[in-house]
């Protein structure tokens, strides 16, 4: 191994930004396509499905991008949150997404369990049948 001297004037001052090697181009392509939903083709991607979905979700969340990312049967899907089903813009997509996230993320506490069980006969013990003599 050896060192090669370099003049500081020859160095590039600007750095190329690291936007996301997979996430940025994929999400940008989806948003520019105008589709409401799309299936991600993982051909040529070395990441696992879970790894890619995790990277896409965190990128969309950290950059406040109106895209929902989920997996069904091992396939990754993207759905736009800023468009309604008829293609019109949804200006309240942030509030709608937050409400949906809160509805899914309800913690399982004893009070929630009691609330779910109320009205059902789950807690009643079954009657024992006497053995016939």
Q: What is the pLDDT along the chain (133 residues), one digit of tens a residue?
A: 777 777 777 777 666 655 557 788 889 999 898 888 899 988 888 888 898 999 999 999 898 888 889 898 888 999 888 887 787 787 887 787 777 666 665 666 777 777 767 756 554 555 666 665 4
Q: Tell me, what's the pLDDT at 105?
A: 59
Q: DSSP secondary structure string, 78-111? A: EEESSB-TTS-B-TTHHHHHHHHHHHHT----HH
For residues 42 and 83, what is the distance between their CA atoms, to the nearest angstrom? Answer: 25
CB-based contact 30:78 (threshold 8 Å): yes
Q: DSSP secondary structure string, 12-41? A: ---------SSHHHHHHHHHHHT-SEEE--
Q: What angle do CA 97, 99, 102 make, to 5 degrees?
A: 110
Residues 6 or more apart whose CB falls under 8 angstroms from that of 79 comprise 36, 37, 67, 68, 69, 70
Between the two ends of the chain, the Cα-to-Cα distance in Å is 94
CB-based contact 60:96 (threshold 8 Å): no
């Amino acid at each position: 191994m050896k060192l090669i001297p370099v003049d500081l004037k020859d160095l590039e001052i600007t750095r190329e930004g690291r936007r996301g090697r997979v996430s940025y181009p994929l999400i940008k392509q989806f948003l520019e396509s105008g589709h409401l939903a799309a299936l991600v083709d993982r051909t040529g991607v070395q990441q696992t499905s879970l790894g890619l979905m995790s990277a896409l979700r965190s990128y969309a969340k950290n950059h406040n991008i109106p895209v929902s990312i989920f997996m069904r049967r091992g396939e990754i899907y993207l759905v736009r949150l800023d468009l309604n089903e008829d293609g019109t813009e949804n200006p309240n997509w942030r509030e709608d997404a937050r409400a949906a996230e809160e509805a899914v993320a309800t913690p399982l506490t004893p009070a929630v369990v009691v609330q779910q069980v109320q009205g059902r006969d789950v807690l009643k013990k079954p009657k024992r049948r006497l053995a016939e003599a």
